A and B are shown apart, each in its own frame.
Chain A
Amino acid sequence: MARPADPNNTLQYAAGAAAAGDIESAISAYEQLLFYNPKLSQTRFQLGVLYYELGSYDMARGYFETALQMPDVTPDLQQKIADLLDLVNKKLQVDQFSGYAQTGLRWQSNASQGPGSQTTLASGQPFNSAFAAKSDWNWFGTFGVNYVHDFQSQSGTTFEATVLGYDAQQFTQHQVDIGLMEIRAGPRFALSPGNINGITIKPYVVTTGALLADVAYMGGVGGGLTAHVTVANVSLDPYSEWVQQSFRNSTFYPLASGMTGPLATYGTLASGPIGSGLSWQSRVAYAHANDQFAFDSYNGFIGDLWLPWSFSVPGSGRPWTLTPSGGVTTWNYKAADPAINPLVAANVTEWRVSLGLEIPIWQKFVLASLVQYRDDLSNVAAFAIHDLSVTAGPSIKF
């Protein structure tokens, strides 16, 4: 930039600074280029993106709006600006709603999530054939809504709520028909208002409920504390959560109440850019369930990594997103289940890999599909399962 006669050098510097997370240096460089040519829509678009990343949504909107007025703006860029303007306008509201909804069909090679029908139990008790591995289809609907109320104070305090809902109705294996809902809500406080990399914390309450086999199965109430901080382009959301879960016995699950007890989870979400439309998101957590039945109590670990990659497809205004992911969950039960294997406390390790693809269809609608393979390894034969799952359906993100 100190060699102003060389705009290409400035452009390289701006792109490099933006990629490295030095947003202000990138802004200075692009504003320099704007002096040289105020008619380039791409310069204004880049500045809009950078101010958006700073949380300066008014400035972002100003640059996006003026980018749309430039003579060289292409239909593709118009579309991208319109999408980001939609996001910016939402951020400038006092009450902000965002989220998604999806419906579709899912096929699973092992919808009942059970072992093979020839499995024998070490306890000598009969194996419940209703839970033997069987393939099936289901119809599902799911949604997630994030709500933010901006108190518009200089403390940066907001109130946030998230609602997650999911319902799946099997074609034949109705013992795994499931409906669930989770609500988390609480205020978020900025510890250093004005610092985009500063820490915010959010105490929250959580309530969950689930139907299984179309009857009430589980309810939970609790609370948690989460924080958000950005360190060198990496967003971190550590959390700890405690939920008192209550399970209800039913025809298919006559001993479910044995799982009643507190579930404590400690973990962190993390995400960051990699470059060229590629980013990463991850979740790691430790869970501890202290249930009524010792053989239902467990210590567990959860780890997942997603690598969403947005890429342009000729003739498609919006980018497609391909998301490979992989994860692992472990359950280390505290005691042997006398009805299954009275001598061995079960350990289960679930490995999963998946590939998701989101194809824009029309406006905010996408066709979302997911292929996932899960393999549960266990020292107890009845808990060793594998399942191939294919999910597809229209989805809207708003």
Chain B
Amino acid sequence: MVPWKAAALLLAGATLIANPAAAQEVGTATAVNPTSESTPPGGSTQTLTLGAHIIHKEHIHTSPSGSVQLLFLDKSSLSIAPNTSIVIDEFIYDPNSGKGHMLTTLTQGALRYVGGELSHQGEATIQTSNATIGIRGGTLTVGQGSGGTKVLNQYGAITISNNGGTVVVTMPGYEVTITGWNIPPGQPTKVTDAEILHYLALLTSKPGQHGGGQFSSFGNLACGGPGQAACPTPPWFSTNAGQDAANQIIVQGTHLGTSQTPPPPSCTGDCPH
């Protein structure tokens, strides 16, 4: 670890010690579908509610119908699928310097991590029983089940390491499957459309659920309607490049031709029309 990182961690740790109640709040539950539970370190398990503060080393568990979105102080977020257990093992973040580190353990289930300041510095890690997943960027989905760990890269550079070796995934739309801590991670392969749709459905509310919030309309922030902004469109590009290039050639040609004697009334060879 480079000295400035060590110093930042020591500083953040000192802050935690000096003001434990405030510093241990690392994020907020911004969407909660029942039943989702949390267990703070040394505390009892309680039902997670919308707006609940998430603290360092908190254990979060969702039932077969439960799902959660957590928003962290560094602006990263975790969407947590049903039947999932995670622990926020470490979250050290200095908002002034933007330095720190996050470590989350996924015991079972699935989550989507959308990156924030820490991951932009390569300081976000997800641990499973099969691999350590280092995130630089980045946005990814991780599934942990009896078949092993599956890592789907959506954006960023993902470094997957275990006793068997290391694989780096840098291209969006690729996944790696890891079946054991001592087994080398597989090579990146293209994600299928079916897998994407599966995780999209898994990592949000199911029909009839509303995550504890109410949201019914975009109002004027919708796009394409009367009085609203145009929807995002494919990038515009000029179709006049040929005409522009032709203009330049003709102008220079005219500069040349201006002083030349006109061609004879009838000619042979390279005569124009």
Give the interface of A toward B (CB within 8 A): 1-5, 7-8, 10-12, 15, 22, 24-25, 27-28, 31-38, 40, 42-43, 45, 49, 51, 54-59, 61-63, 65-66, 74, 76-77, 80, 83-84, 87, 92, 100, 102, 106, 112-115, 119, 121, 123, 125-131, 140, 142-144, 152-156, 164-166, 168, 174-178, 180, 182, 190, 192-196, 210, 212-215, 217-218, 250-256, 258-259, 271, 275-277, 279, 281, 296, 306, 308, 310-312, 314, 319, 321, 323, 329, 331, 337, 339-340, 346, 348, 350, 354, 356, 368, 370, 374, 376, 382-383, 385, 391, 395, 397
B233 partner, pick from A43, A83, A127, beta carbons under 8 A: A83
Known: A144-B241, A217-B253. A128 touches B273 (CB 8 A): no
Report how far A56 CA is from B139 CA in the complex, Å. 9
Q: Which 6 A-B residue pairs are closest in the complex by CB-CB distance?
A: A166-B242, A35-B211, A35-B31, A194-B170, A277-B230, A194-B157
Instruction: Give the chain B neighbours of A250 by CB distance below 8 A.
Output: 270
Instruction: Give the chain B neighbours of A374 by CB distance below 8 A.
Output: 247
Check if A35 sits within 8 Å of B205, measured CB to CB: yes
Known: A35-B33, A178-B250. A277 touches B229 (CB 8 A): yes
**Nearest CB to that of A143 among chain B residues?**
B242
Instruction: Give the chain A neighbours of B114 by CB distance below 8 A.
Output: 24, 27-28, 31
What is the 8 Å Cβ interface bit string for chain B, positions 201-227, against chain A (1 contact, 0 not)? 001111101111111111101111110
Nearest Cβ distance between residue A298 and chain B, in whole angstroms?
Answer: 9
Check if B28 sits within 8 Å of A2, measured CB to CB: yes
Report how far A277 CA is from B114 CA in the complex, Å. 27
Question: Is residue B96 within 8 Å, beta carbon to beta carbon, of the partner chain?
Answer: no
B20-63 at interface with A (beta carbon < 8 Å): 28-31, 33, 50-51
Nearest Cβ distance between residue A114 and chain B, in whole angstroms?
Answer: 5
B221 partner, pick from A15, A102, A391, beta carbons under 8 A: A15
B236-258 at interface with A (beta carbon < 8 Å): 236-243, 245-258
Check if B231 sits within 8 Å of A4, measured CB to CB: no
Report how far A252 CA is from B262 CA in the complex, Å. 8
Check if A154 sits within 8 Å of B174, measured CB to CB: yes
A45 partner, pick from B136, B169, B210, B231, beta carbons under 8 A: B231
Count of residues in B whose CB is under 8 Å from the partner chain: 105
Identify the stretch in B102-110, B125-133, B192-200 within 8 Å (CB) of chain A at 4 or more residues. B192-200
Selected A-B contacts with CB under 8 Å, 5 pairs: A36-B31, A56-B154, A142-B239, A193-B157, A271-B235
Give the interface of B toward A (CB within 8 A): 28-31, 33, 50-51, 67, 69, 71, 75-77, 79, 112, 114-116, 136-139, 153-158, 168-174, 188, 190-191, 193, 196-197, 200, 203-207, 209-219, 221-226, 228-243, 245-263, 267, 269-273
**Nearest CB to that of A92 among chain B residues?**
B173
Known: A31-B77, A142-B239, A306-B238. A176 touches B250 (CB 8 A): yes
Instruction: Give the chain A neighbours of B262 by CB distance below 8 A.
Output: 128-130
- Contacts A40-B216, A356-B240 aside, 12 further interface pairs with beta carbons under 8 A come to A35-B31, A35-B69, A36-B212, A92-B173, A128-B258, A166-B245, A174-B272, A215-B270, A251-B263, A310-B233, A385-B251, A385-B254
Q: Count contacts between A and B, CB distance < 8 Å.
A: 361
**Nearest CB to that of B157 among chain A residues?**
A194
Nearest Cβ distance between residue B47 and chain A, in whole angstroms?
Answer: 16
Instruction: Give the chain B neighbours of A175 by CB distance below 8 A.
Output: 257, 272
Report how far A113 CA is from B256 CA in the complex, Å. 12
Check if B215 sits within 8 Å of A36, measured CB to CB: yes
Instruction: Give the chain B neighbours of A128 by CB distance below 8 A.
Output: 257-262
Check if A123 sits within 8 Å of B259, measured CB to CB: yes
Check if A310 sits within 8 Å of B30, measured CB to CB: no
**Nearest CB to that of B249 among chain A residues?**
A210
Instruction: Give the chain A neighbours of B205 by CB distance below 8 A.
Output: 34-38
Report how far A81 CA is from B142 CA in the complex, Å. 28
Nearest Cβ distance between residue A342 and chain B, in whole angstroms?
Answer: 11
Check if A397 sits within 8 Å of B197, measured CB to CB: no
Instruction: Give the chain A neighbours of B196 by CB distance below 8 A.
Output: 58-59, 61-62
Check if A368 sits within 8 Å of B239, measured CB to CB: yes
Check if A391 sits within 8 Å of B170, measured CB to CB: no
Instruction: Give the chain A neighbours of B169 by CB distance below 8 A.
Output: 154, 194
